Amino acid sequence: SGETSYNSWLQYSKITDSPLVDNYSPFLEHVVIPENTEVINSAKEELLCGISSMFGKSLNISTELKKESFIFLGTEDKYEMVKELIGVDLLGQLNNEGYIIKSFESNNSIIIFGKNDKGVLYGVFHLLRLIQTDSSLNNIDIFENPKNQLRMINEWDNMDGSVERGYAGNSIFFEENRFVRDWDRIKDYARMLSSVGINAIAFNNVNVHEVESKLITTEFLPDVAKVASIFRAYGIKTFLSINYASPIQIGGLDTADPLDEKVRNWWKEKTKEIYQYIPDFGGVLVKADSEHRPGPFTYNRTHADGSNMLAEAIEPFGGIVLWRCFVYNCMQDWRDRSTDRAKAAYDHFKPLDGQFKDNVVLQIKNGPMDFQVREGVSPLFGAMPKTNQLLEFQIAQEYTGQQRHVCYLIPQWKEILDFDTYANGEGTPVKSVVDGSQFQYTHCGITAVSNIGNDVNWTGHTLAQANLYGYGRLTWNPDLSSEIITDEWVKATFGTDLDVVSEISDMLLQSWRIYENYTSPLGVGWMVNPEHHYGPNVDGYEYSVWGTYHFADCKGIGVDRTISTGTGYTGQYFPENQTMYESLDTCPDELLLFFHHVPYTHVLKSGKTVIQHIYDTHFEGVEQAEGLKQRWLALEGKIDPTRFRGILERLEHQAEHSKEWRDIINTYFYRKSGIPDEKNRKIY
Ligand code: GCW
């Protein structure tokens, strides 16, 4: 049935054959819950549901401590009740969302203790995860604080029900220019998100069209408030994407100039109104002066002027302004070799460092171009010590197979988070910039474009659920390894059978490289069909206005972004990285064509020429895609039929489609270069 795929990693499958049933049972008699908040109630409901589903057992609920066999859920307010059991040593180190889990074999008890109720909720999800992954409950001694303050999701949902870059059906929030009002589905989404530690969401598209502009009016605020209340019960704050030109669009003013008093007052009144409906409203997300969206440039104002104006309006209510840095010239002339889109965000924002208010956070895409299979890490990270920064990933697989191909992105995100910016000298990885530990940031963290829709299984490709899961886990703790995250997801989703776990984990962990192999070699991007961005089209973006070129000719390929002979982009990095990328000797192979234009005969560090690398990876990628399908087929009978077939269909498509990629890419470069494949394979 669809239920299994709908339940994602919150399967709570019946546990019968685990060697650990005898270990678990003694703990599962009572749940002691002395407090009563919305979030604690969510924690209680989840625990009761999880235990009853896995063990067919209802826990007895009590507010008083028992002598034995109990699970205690409580916060600092109830510290007195459990102080003998948890001691004081770690207490002071718990942050607002942190928690402690301890278990005691002597009386079969488990203490889940949060500084606040959110910690209790996260602790309950952690306990349920331990059981779902076959972990022993003996001698648990867990201390967890989330590493990032903002752990956010951006939906690109439009009110007509479509989802921009959505690959899993329509919106679960909107249809026909109103709210869907399927609150249960939204609640289940909230459960999924909070189970991996997400604490904020903006649920409408950053491209705010006409109807969506009215989300901040009384026409829709009651519904927004309803959605916010569902998320609130799971510790998730609601944000809205807003239209920068709202004062004109919905306010009837003749300007949106951020320095105009009328405009400033309009936003102050508007903000007051929003907070009447949603007292803990998180704030606004703004895409301004980007891809034809309105912004302060219209009035010759800076992005500091624009964002500060909103920040001032929202400050009295504790809200924040998430301001995107995806600002570039999308009307470029391809003949112009001096403009480089990769440089745009840094060029626009770096000079403004120090001018932003404390409650403005700059939201920066992980790459300087746009969520390609592989690109350099944005040099803006670490370059603005006096300005709050938020990292933006894309879980939706716009350029990585659109959730029809499997492409597990956790390894990619880990590389980005671990990338050393050298902002404070060696050992200043991106993760340490956005978690606020390098500079005195007041707000920071990680956000990402969601990959869900109203498909029964949420993500179209069931294996794409792993990207959403892993995103949350990584955001909670960027130091978790890909292997650990993957292992958790597979076990919680498909059960703990050893073959299933090792096969699926390995398929996921290799999938990004496989996808890269048959699509986009050596950091060159954009060889996709325009607009929908699916499938190969080497020159699809070569002569366009978007600033997206590979410059392939009969001699060579790649974008010269060096200081000495190119666009100078490498100069935006701190010296160590600048030197590494500037020189052909030290630039890593995998990003070679992102930074350099080289002849097809250029020899890579691997010892192969560029052209032979292109041929080899494309032939190999197709074999690997076929391999994924074969490995999946071998799991038949170990996966429920619905998910088995659904995933198989997509893997079959992937294997076929990878051939299309291989043949078009190889043929294109063979025809351009005239250099035959050393191994004489079929190229057209
Ligand atoms: O990559 C581009 C996408 C647009 C998107 C834009 C953005 C929301 O193709 O669909 O618009 O990025 O991030 O603003």
Would you call 3 a catalytic residue per the annotation? Answer: no
* pLDDT (0 to 100) of residue 89: 76
DSSP, collapsed to helix, strand or coil, labels residue 152 as strand
CA neighbor of 281 nearest in space, from 265, 270, 289: 270
Query: For the residues 34-54, what does the mean pLDDT come to?
Result: 98
- Cβ–ligand 1 contact at 287 (below 6 Å): yes
- Cβ–ligand 1 contact at 164 (below 6 Å): yes
Distances (CA, A) of 518 to 394, 492, 508, 677: 21, 31, 16, 16
Query: What value does the mean pLDDT of the chain take?
Result: 97
- Cβ–ligand 1 contact at 546 (below 6 Å): no
Quick: pLDDT tens for 286-342: 999 999 999 999 999 999 999 999 999 999 999 999 999 999 999 999 999 999 999
Q: How confident is the model at residue 17 (pLDDT cuts 50, 70, 90)?
A: confident
- Cβ–ligand 1 contact at 330 (below 6 Å): no
Q: 289 with 239: CB under 8 angstroms?
A: no
User: Judging by DSSP bridges, how do beta strands 598-599 and 556-557 pair with one another?
Assistant: antiparallel
Q: Which of 155, 156, 165 to mutate to test the pocket of ligand 1 (most atoms within 8 A of CB)?
A: 165
Q: How far is the CA of 364 from the centre of ligand 1 (A)?
A: 13
Q: Rounded to the nearest 10 degrees, what angle do helices 465-476 and 482-494 cross at?
A: 130
Report the nearest atom of ligand 1 relative to the CA of 290.
14
Q: 557 with 598: CB under 8 angstroms?
A: yes
- Cβ–ligand 1 contact at 165 (below 6 Å): yes
Q: How far is the CA of 460 from the centre of ligand 1 (A)?
A: 20
- Cβ–ligand 1 contact at 639 (below 6 Å): no
CA neighbor of 516 nearest in space, from 532, 527, 503: 527
Residue 109 pLDDT > 80, yes or no? yes
Q: How confident is the model at residue 88 (pLDDT cuts 50, 70, 90)?
A: confident
Per-state percent for the chain, helix, strand, coil, to nearest 5: 40, 15, 45
Catalytic residue among 144, 312, 398, 582: 398
Q: 267 with 310: CB under 8 angstroms?
A: yes
Q: How far is the CA of 530 from the centre of ligand 1 (A)?
A: 13
User: How many Å apart are CA 364 and CA 368, to the nearest integer?
Assistant: 9
Query: What are residue 663's phi and psi, to 5 degrees?
Result: -70, -35
Q: How far is the CA of 57 from the centre of ligand 1 (A)?
A: 47
Residue 18 pLDDT > 90, yes or no? no
Query: For the residues 495-516, what does the mean pLDDT come to?
Result: 97
User: How many Å apart are CA 216 and CA 267, to the nearest integer?
Assistant: 11
Q: Which of 158, 203, 205, 207 to mutate to test the pocket of ligand 1 (most atoms within 8 A of CB)?
A: 207
Q: How far is the CA of 84 from the centre of ligand 1 (A)?
A: 53
Q: How far is the CA of 290 from the centre of ligand 1 (A)?
A: 9
Query: What are residue 103's phi and psi, to 5 degrees?
Result: -125, 155
Distances (CA, A) of 331 to 364, 407, 478, 545, 547: 21, 31, 37, 5, 8
Q: How far is the CA of 208 from the centre of ligand 1 (A)?
A: 12
Report the nearest atom of ligand 1 relative to the CA of 533.
9
Residue 176 burial (C-beta neighbours within 10 Å; 0-12, 13-18, 19+)? exposed
* pLDDT (0 to 100) of residue 1: 54
Q: Whose CA is nearest to atom 1 of ligand 1?
A: 370
- Cβ–ligand 1 contact at 370 (below 6 Å): yes
Q: How far is the CA of 393 from the centre of ligand 1 (A)?
A: 12
Quick: pLDDT tens for 450-489: 999 999 999 999 999 999 999 999 999 999 999 999 999 9
Would you call 370 a catalytic residue per the annotation? Answer: yes
Q: Which of 167, 366, 370, 390 to mutate to test the pocket of ligand 1 (most atoms within 8 A of CB)?
A: 370
Instruction: State the DSSP H helix or E strand holding residue 114, giving kind and residue range, or none if neither.
Output: strand 109-114
Tokens coding 413? 């995100």
Q: What is the ipTM of this complex?
A: 0.99
Catalytic residue among 76, 105, 182, 291: 291
| pTM passes above 0.90 | yes
Query: For the residues 499-521, what does the mean pLDDT come to?
Result: 98
- Cβ–ligand 1 contact at 206 (below 6 Å): yes
Q: Whose CA is nearest to atom 9 of ligand 1?
A: 165
Report the nearest atom of ligand 1 relative to the CA of 365.
13
Quick: pLDDT tens for 155-212: 999 999 999 999 999 999 999 999 999 999 999 999 999 999 999 999 999 999 999 9
User: How many Å apart are CA 474 and CA 469, to the nearest integer?
Assistant: 9
User: Judging by DSSP bridges, how do beta strands 200-202 and 237-242 pair with one another?
Assistant: parallel
74-93 b/e (C-beta count within 10 Å ≥ 16 → b): bbeebeebbeebbeeeeeee
The CA-CA-CA angle for residues 585, 588, 589, to 5°, reads 100
Q: 73 with 117: CB under 8 angstroms?
A: no
DSSP labels, 285-352: EE--SSTT---GGGGT--HHHHHHHHHHHHGGGT-EEEEE-----SS--TT-SS--GGGHHHHHHGGG
Residue 21 pLDDT > 90, yes or no? no
Quick: pLDDT tens for 593-610: 999 999 999 999 999 999
DSSP, collapsed to helix, strand or coil, labels residue 559 as coil
Q: Which of 286, 397, 398, 532 to mutate to test the pocket of ligand 1 (most atoms within 8 A of CB)?
A: 398
Query: What are residue 38's phi and psi, to 5 degrees?
Result: -55, -45
Chain centroid to CA 121 = 21
Quick: pLDDT tens for 350-383: 999 999 999 999 999 999 999 999 999 999 999 9
365-403 b/e (C-beta count within 10 Å ≥ 16 → b): bbbbbbbbbbbbbbbbbbbbeebbbbbbbbbbbbbbbbb
Q: 124 with 43: CB under 8 angstroms?
A: yes
Report the nearest atom of ligand 1 relative to the CA of 287.
14
Q: How far is the CA of 649 from the centre of ligand 1 (A)?
A: 28
The CA-CA-CA angle for residues 588, 593, 596, to 5°, reads 85
Quick: pLDDT tens for 207-238: 999 999 999 999 999 999 999 999 999 999 99
Would you call 291 a catalytic residue per the annotation? Answer: yes
- Cβ–ligand 1 contact at 552 (below 6 Å): no
User: How many Å apart are CA 441 and CA 151, to the nearest integer?
Assistant: 15
- Cβ–ligand 1 contact at 162 (below 6 Å): no
Q: How far is the CA of 165 from the centre of ligand 1 (A)?
A: 8
Q: Whose CA is nearest to atom 12 of ligand 1?
A: 370
* pLDDT (0 to 100) of residue 86: 87
Tokens coding 80? 């007195």
User: How many Å apart are CA 307 and CA 303, to the nearest integer?
Assistant: 6
